[in-house]
Structure 1
Amino acid sequence: MTTHCLKTKLWTLLLITFTVYTTHAQTNTNQSNSIKDSLYIQKVEGKKDRPKVLHAEPLYIDLIRDLGARKGEREWNVGLGLTDNITHDEYTALIEYEWAPIDRLGLEVELPFSIYYPTISDAATPGSSLHSIKLAAQYTFFVSEKKKLSMAVGYIHEFQLTDFKNYQNDTFFTGNVYNPFVVVAKRWGQNFHTLLYTGPQFSTRYADNSQQTDWQINSNFHYMIPGSRNFIGLEFNKEIKKSDFDMTIRPQMRVEVTEHLLVGIVTGIPIKRENERFSTFLRLIYEPSH
């Protein structure tokens, strides 16, 4: 046997060994991730007397509480955002607390702030404010672990507030927003998630008795990373005002920092740049033990 032939056979043997080892390691990793996914799903869903389906929750237009929420669940959220508009920048912040007083019912209180900074000299910008006091409720009326499907109805009420600069001279409450909505969510297998969140938004202003009706249609697609609670996904936030249609696409990701703390990162890309350009949003999610 020649030296060349011996070297060829040796390299072939090494290649086969490496391929088998890599395939075996990848199989073990996939099996390990699959087991972790199954255990996480079992942890969320595994109470037959109180059925619940694990769904990925969107990060920008989030839910009032998990679909199929169980009594005692609660969560704190802090959000920070920046939106680049044509004439000004908008800095946003929110503080949000949500909890489930009984099975399947979620309640929420949110305080959203907006601060505006002009980017063009002498540009007319909105006034900075605590935008509103938001109170919300959501009830999951249908849960099917077999079909991996959940449905809920909810209602958000906003008490709109005047700008900071007008606290001394103006009416503190300036109007109301009434927002009933429906949520339908479906998980496909262990890792793929879809969700539709939609409903009308009725606004009234005290100053001129004006009324306005908008429609919000938010569709979502998420992929949960195998072996983790992390996910990547897309939100399609659509708004219809009379004959005007706007949509912002929001790529996003959620990262688990600790068992109780998660971080969500969102980018906003409007399909038409009439007033708004790119935006970013960061959400800190803290889930105490329950």
Structure 2
Amino acid sequence: MNIKKKLMLITLLASSIYSVAQTTKSERDEIYIQTIEDDKEPDKVLHAEPLYVDLIRDLGARKGEKEWNLGFGLTDNLKFDSYEALIEYEWAPMDRLGLEVELPFTFYSPVSDTGEELNPANELNSIKIATQWSFFVSEPMATSMALGYINEFELSDFRNFGKPFITGNIYNPFFVIAKRWGNNFHSLIYTGPMIEQHFNTNKFHTTYDVNTSFHYMIPGTRNFIGVEFNKTIDESDFDMTIRPQMRLGITDHLLIGIVGGIPVRRENERLSSFVRLIWEPKHH
């Protein structure tokens, strides 16, 4: 066999292998998406959920779905480090409706000789209760939309715990729209105002959040890599934190999310990190 025929054979073989690999990749994607979307009621679209500002429940949630989350984070705030921890339970009591209860904690540690008395006091930040209703789910368009509401009962810190017990309230309505592009690329917008009421002064303070995220889901798996852009508008002040992230499936029901935080023009905050453990009990 001459060299020209050998090269043609090698090219044909390589092309065949690539074609098979691409077909297998596409088939894995289709099979995984079908396990979420097809042959089940009501309709549901597979979306990648951001890991830092997460959703109350999957968009298009189906009755009986539930999930436990444990979160752990560290933020460098120049004069002190803050450690956050949270425990969160979310469930769907009926189709398209998600509910959530969350307890977020923050602990502080000085990084210089500023003295402990100058640091914020450790605290259980609030008791958060939330609901989310997916009012639009389209499998042909691979698009979902939801409205939700989070209510946070702000609590006194541990130095003054119970004096009083509840110090304020945060009202947070929000809107979510998510779109999957093809089989693997995902985008999501999560936005709404946060209205904080301090009971001792009865004053209100409003900020507005616009969180956008983009993810690439690894073919045939629940694993993804992506980024969140968490943006806050406070009157004339604008803050943004970029959060690169990845999610890995450990077992069929246990996942881990790893998030970095890179602030953009924040005066007192430097790099941060966050880890989320996600356990989804089996449901019928």
TM-score (ref. length: structure 2): 0.94
Distance (whole Å) between structure 2 residues aligned to residue 245 and residue 273 of structure 1: 9
2:24 paired residue number: 32
Structure 1 segment 100-139 matched on structure 2, within 5 A: 100-122=92-114, 124-139=118-133
1:260 paired residue number: 253
1:240 paired residue number: 233
Shift of 1:167: 2.1
Distance (whole Å) between structure 2 residues aligned to residue 231 and residue 211 of structure 1: 39
Cα RMSD (Å):
1.8
Shift of 1:208: 2.3
Instruction: Give the SS at the match of 1:93.
Output: strand
Equivalent residues of 2:126, 2:153 under 8 A apart: yes
Shift of 1:74: 0.6
Equivalent residues of 1:262, 1:284 under 8 A apart: yes
Distance 1:89 1:243, change over 3 A: same
Distance (whole Å) between structure 2 residues aligned to residue 16 and residue 83 of structure 1: 58
Code of the aligned partner of 1:32: T
Equivalent residues of 2:121, 2:157 under 8 A apart: yes
- Identity over the aligned pairs, expressed in percent? 58
2:186 paired residue number: 193
Distance 1:20 1:93, change over 3 A: farther
Code of the aligned partner of 2:266: R
Deviations 1:15-38 (A, max 9, x none): 665554444333323222211111
1:88 paired residue number: 80
Equivalent residues of 2:31, 2:220 under 8 A apart: no
**Alignment pair present for 1:184 and 2:157:** no
Instruction: Give the SS at the match of 2:30.
Output: helix
Distance 1:65 1:9, change over 3 A: same
**Ranges in structure 1 where 5+ consecutive residues have no aligned partner:** 1-5
**Ranges in structure 2 where 5+ consecutive residues have no aligned partner:** none
Distance 1:39 1:212, change over 3 A: same
1:164 paired residue number: 158
Distance 1:167 1:48, change over 3 A: closer
Equivalent residues of 1:32, 1:227 under 8 A apart: no
